[in-house]
Amino acid sequence: MIRAARRTGLVFFPAFDWAISPSHPEREERLLYTQDQVLEEGLLDIDGIVEYRVRPATYEDLRRVHFCVPDEAAVTTESHLISAGGCLVAADAVLNGEVESAFALVRPPGHHSRRVVHGNRGFCNINNEAVMIEYIRGKYGIKKIAIVDTDCHHGDGTQDIYWHDPNTLFISIHQDGRTLYPGSGFPDEAGGPNAQGFTVNIPLPPQTGEQGFLHVMDELVMPLLGKFEPEIVINSAGQDNHFNDPITNMNFSARGYATLNALLKPDIAVLEGGYAVENALPYVNVGIIMAMAGMDTSNVKEPNYDRDYQQQPPEITRNIEQIVVQLRDLFLESGLKTVPYEEGRIVERSRDVFYDTDGIHERQHEKIRCCQQCAGALAIASTSNLGQHILAVQIPVEACTACRQVGLAWFEEGTRGAFSHVYLQDRVRGVYECT
Amino acid sequence: MILGLDVGGTQTDAVVIDKGQVVVATKTPTGEDLLTTLRMALENTLRDVETARLNRMAFSTTMATNAIVQDRLEDTGMIVSAGPGIDPEWFAVGPSYHVVEGCLDHQGFEAKSLNRAAVMDAAARIQEEKIKVIGVTGKFSVRNPSHELLIADWVGSSFSHVAMGHRVSGVLNFPRRIVTTYLNAALHGLHKEFLSALVHILNEKGLSAPRYLLKPDGGTINLDKSIDSPASIAQSGPAASVMGALALDGCEGTTLILDVGGTTTDMSVVLNGTPLLKPHGIRLGPFQTLIRSLMTHSLGIGGDSEVRMEERGGLRIGPVRRGRPMAMGGPAPTPTDAMITLDLLKTGNRDSAKAAMEDVGKPLGWDAATTAQRVLKHLAETIAESAKAFIYGINSQPVYTIHEVLEDQKIEPTSVLIIGGAAPQIGGYIGKAFGLPHRFPHHHGVANAVGAAVARVTSEITLQADTERGSVIIPEANVEDKINPSFDIEQAVALGRELLFQQAVRSGAEEKGLEISITEKQVFNMIRGYSRTGKNIRLKMGIAPGPIPEWKRSHYE
């Protein structure tokens, strides 16, 4: 009997009865062919690969991360709760020591969901990884966590959620934002005042192939992880860098994904995007599961690989090498110019957020208290063209007394203001309030 | 009148049922030779029976299981085509296993054509080893059997038998398909021999009624048809017990069935008269197969298990069986000795039983009766604990739709039904350990033979239609047809019904009142870019295990 070298948990939730709309890429059969391939390969019979049953996440789980406007019921469906819940099952399996690593093959995805949620952006409503991470922090007392987002699209939602958190290293490898949704994810986006250098964006040119991705892993991602020393590593395992993907321009492969995974050895991987449902996902997912289980993946490839896979052009290789040199300088050799913010200073920024799926325009004004002791009190005033005008206040995990007081004061003040709703997420007391 | 016979490890049980009543029940020791045992059991059972009135005979045998366990399988060559994925060499089975070039994708499209020279070479090498039977298996052959058919066509005439993977089951699982194909090929000759010897015995005794064999899914198949898939009748014993319990009781609600035997206790669950099936196939010795089976769990303790006192003062029962109970001259104390001590069972030498119990209880100063009670209580509690884990496992099975997650259907037994010789003796203890109402049916000692006797024919098909590819395929029925783009779910259900009906009748099912159930029904749009290019329809239909109409008529109406 075939045995996995590493015990691996698999949470498979294809949601065969849910779609954004009938012809939307995020539709019922997205994981159908993946399931076919996984079953036909006999992966679930392998000793050491354990399949788990999903459970829905609760609103309480979401409230450790999100401010849902006006409330959770309005912006989520059962499918979002189950998808996030699948990640919690994966986390429990790993942190209880039942398996060494786990893969949550769930949909819908989540990495475009930000802290404030008015609706669906980039196929996402709820940030599955963030909901999982904050669950892990609450239940297992783990502090330092790294997220490596290998989806082809910049993980802007995850970046937003961890922008101010120095205990979370967020690394996103993606197709250059000048050529693809959501249009962000440049090296100068490196974290907020309290977490400078803890967000690392690695934009890669279209046509990046196996060689380029693996170069980035070896020269940049692995050293960054070595420097940060996270207690656990999460992989946002989008699969749309694939050469068969219909909505991106990259040139990655199933074998490449498997090798990347074997290098990264994430504790938990979570499926993100990837819409070549017939000719990429089945092979990529088989490759990732086998790699996580420590199995030989050299025979895993797409049936059209030999015919259609193209080597990375030399000019792209040179381009990637330059990007790597530049980013190594910034993030590994202290080249990043950090701004020394004075303790207690309030830094503000404003921005517009567009929800492409739901057509919502949001205007945000954000305040963060600069702090050396904690992630800082955070307040976001948000107005949407649906008529909402809300204030969301976060007191982060292990907040210092000063930040707690500032957060509570902002909330108090907000309740007397002209907002339609005022929210308080107090991670110190573990309460969530909404007026 | 029906004859039912179940060959067990130590005993062979047989019954004759007339108008829904068990009129003869016998137990014959199981000997070394299966056919001799069958002959003796038939003689014991039919001595005073008017055999001309028999209209059905069903057998649950150990032929295939024994051949596998005793390593008597015929040398079998395997020709396998796979393509990318897990290295197919990892699934090597049998003395002459060959992987040939050729690849189909998950939709059944050919990604690489079959290499004819490689196939011919593999066949030549198998022949060189003087091997006469082969198995042919392709990855995704249930989506498109063409590569398997081609191999059979090219080299089949060089062998006495060719077993093909797509005929085994429509379920996707390449490694299990390889193994099951191998077993079907390797058991073919043995099975054929066994059938002809059995038929010879039956004819000799003038027994001409229709003949059936029991399968591990609790269904039967007629003797002649079973030659297509000899592995599918292996390990039918646990199914015989479940079907017997179900037939004798009806099993309304959620019933946990316990078959407390000499060395093992088998458990299973019946939901409102329908037994639960395993999600994957049965395991036969070292082989994980695609053979459908009832969901059963076997715990290694029973009435003849050894009882001893651990050094720290805890009772321990099994998993070892040293021999017969001490009351019958055996070497070690057993739960049966406890039953005899408490006068629950009037057999053997009660003084020996008492002495055995006293000996066990001595370190703690318990007398024989106290020890005996504690032994039976411990036996029942161990079974209850194992049953709890069994049910937990069933309830932890993954689900794949929102509907199922929200419904969150959990199995929770509402009663315990006990069968096996010791059911009345152990019943009270079991009921208490489970905290549930318990009962045991009349004829609980030969429930397994009753199960074989009255189990109806089961059958199943897997249909996949792909309107983009323009084909519908039902591998179990050997059907692959062209379809129009307008082919829909109603047409698929109608086609499935018709073919399942035909297949069931061929396997010996009674045409009247055939109950077909749809166990899976899914329709997916297939989309390229933003437009629909076709529909992917998936159906699983089957005839669930249950008692034959004749039994139902005499019992439930």
Least CB-CB distance to A42: which of B140, B174, B531?
Answer: B174
Give the count of Cβ contacts less than 8 A between chain A and B.
120
pLDDT tens for each residue of B487-523 = 999 999 999 999 999 999 999 998 888 889 999 999 9
For this structure, is A112 an active site residue?
A: yes
CA distance A361 to A388: 11
Of A272, A268, A226, the C-alpha closest to A245 is A272
pLDDT tens for each residue of A276-328 = 999 999 999 999 999 999 999 999 999 999 889 989 999 999 999 999 999 99
Contact A342, B142 (CB under 8 A): no
Contact A45, B175 (CB under 8 A): yes
CA distance B222 to B57: 10
pLDDT in tens, chain B (557 residues): 999 999 988 889 999 999 999 999 999 999 999 999 999 999 999 999 999 999 999 999 999 999 998 899 999 999 999 989 999 999 999 999 999 999 999 999 999 999 999 999 999 999 999 999 999 999 999 999 999 999 999 999 999 999 999 999 999 999 999 999 999 999 999 999 999 999 999 999 999 999 999 999 999 999 999 999 999 999 999 999 999 999 999 999 999 999 998 889 999 999 999 999 998 899 999 999 999 999 999 999 999 999 999 988 789 998 888 989 999 999 999 999 999 999 999 999 999 999 999 999 999 999 999 999 999 999 999 999 999 999 999 999 998 888 888 888 899 999 999 999 899 999 999 999 999 999 999 999 999 999 999 999 999 999 999 998 899 999 999 999 999 999 999 999 999 999 999 999 999 998 888 889 999 999 998 877 667 788 999 999 999 999 998 887 777 65
Q: Which one of the listed residues A80, A112, A153, A154 is annotated catalytic?
A: A112
Q: Note whether B174 contacts A13, CB cutoff 8 Å.
A: no
| Residue indicated by tokens 């709703």 | A421
Complex ipTM value: 0.92
Give me the mean pLDDT over the A84-100 stretch: 98
Least CB-CB distance to B398: which of A42, A53, A303?
Answer: A53
CA distance B232 to B63: 11
Q: What is the pLDDT, as a whole number, of residue B464?
A: 96
For A52, counting Cβ atoms within 10 Å of its Cβ (0-12 exposed, 13-18 middle, 19+ buried), the class is buried
Q: Note whether A300 contacts B85, CB cutoff 8 Å.
A: yes
Of B490, B486, B496, B494, the C-alpha closest to B464 is B496
Contacts of A106 in chain B (CB under 8 A): none
Of A395, A402, A404, A382, the C-alpha closest to A424 is A395
For the question of whether the overall pTM of this predicted structure is more than 0.90, the answer is: yes
Q: Indicate the average pLDDT of chain A.
A: 95
CA distance B245 to B251: 8
Least CB-CB distance to B405: which of A42, A45, A82?
Answer: A82
Contacts of B397 in chain A (CB under 8 A): 53
Contact A138, A396 (CB under 8 A): no
B110 touches chain A (CB under 8 A): no
The alpha-carbon gap from A66 to the nearest alpha carbon of chain B, in Å, equals: 23
Give me the mean pLDDT over the A330-356 stretch: 93
Q: Note whether B84 contacts A303, CB cutoff 8 Å.
A: yes
Give me the mean pLDDT over the A194-204 stretch: 97
Q: Which residue type is seen at B341?
A: T
CA distance A400 to A404: 6
Q: Note whether A14 contacts B111, CB cutoff 8 Å.
A: no
pLDDT tens for each residue of A35-85 = 999 999 999 999 999 999 999 999 999 999 999 999 999 999 999 999 999
User: Angle of helix A128-140 relative to helix A78-95, nearest 10 degrees?
Assistant: 40
| Minimal-distance CA residue of chain A relative to B530 | A23
Q: What is the pLDDT, as a whole number, of residue B404?
A: 86
Interface probe for B, chosen from A47, A277, A299, A302 (most Cβ of B below 10 Å), is A299
Q: Note whether B85 contacts A41, CB cutoff 8 Å.
A: yes
Q: What is the pLDDT, as a whole number, of residue A25?
A: 83
* Contact residues, B window 505-524, toward A, CB-based 8 Å cutoff: 522, 524
* Contact residues, B window 170-189, toward A, CB-based 8 Å cutoff: 171-176
Q: How far apart are the first and last CA of chain B?
A: 18
Q: Note whether B522 contacts A16, CB cutoff 8 Å.
A: yes
Angle, vertex CA B311, rays to CA B306 and CA B315, nearest 5: 40
Whether the bond into B319 is cis, omega within 30 of 0: yes
Q: Note whether B107 contacts A33, CB cutoff 8 Å.
A: yes
Interface probe for B, chosen from A18, A26, A27, A41 (most Cβ of B below 10 Å), is A41
Q: How far is CA B456 from the centre of its chain?
A: 14
At B47, is the secondary structure helix, strand, or coil? coil
Looking from the CA of B247 toward its CB, the CA atoms found within 13 Å total 36
Phi, psi of A406 (to 5 degrees): -65, -45
Contacts of A301 in chain B (CB under 8 A): 84
Interface probe for A, chosen from B137, B392, B402 (most Cβ of A below 10 Å), is B402
Q: What is the pLDDT, as a whole number, of residue A22?
A: 78
Of A272, A45, A58, A279, the C-alpha closest to A158 is A272
Contact B49, B24 (CB under 8 A): yes
Q: Note whether B140 contacts A40, CB cutoff 8 Å.
A: yes
Q: Note whether B405 contacts A78, CB cutoff 8 Å.
A: yes
The alpha-carbon gap from B518 to the nearest alpha carbon of chain A, in Å, equals: 17
Q: Note whether A17 contacts B401, CB cutoff 8 Å.
A: yes
Q: What is the pLDDT, as a whole number, of residue B557?
A: 54
Total length of chain B: 557
| Minimal-distance CA residue of chain A relative to B401 | A15
| Minimal-distance CA residue of chain A relative to B105 | A303
Q: What is the pLDDT, as a whole number, of residue B409?
A: 84
Least CB-CB distance to A40: which of B174, B400, B403?
Answer: B174
Q: Which sign, positive or negative, has the C-alpha torsion A49, A82, A80, B171?
A: positive
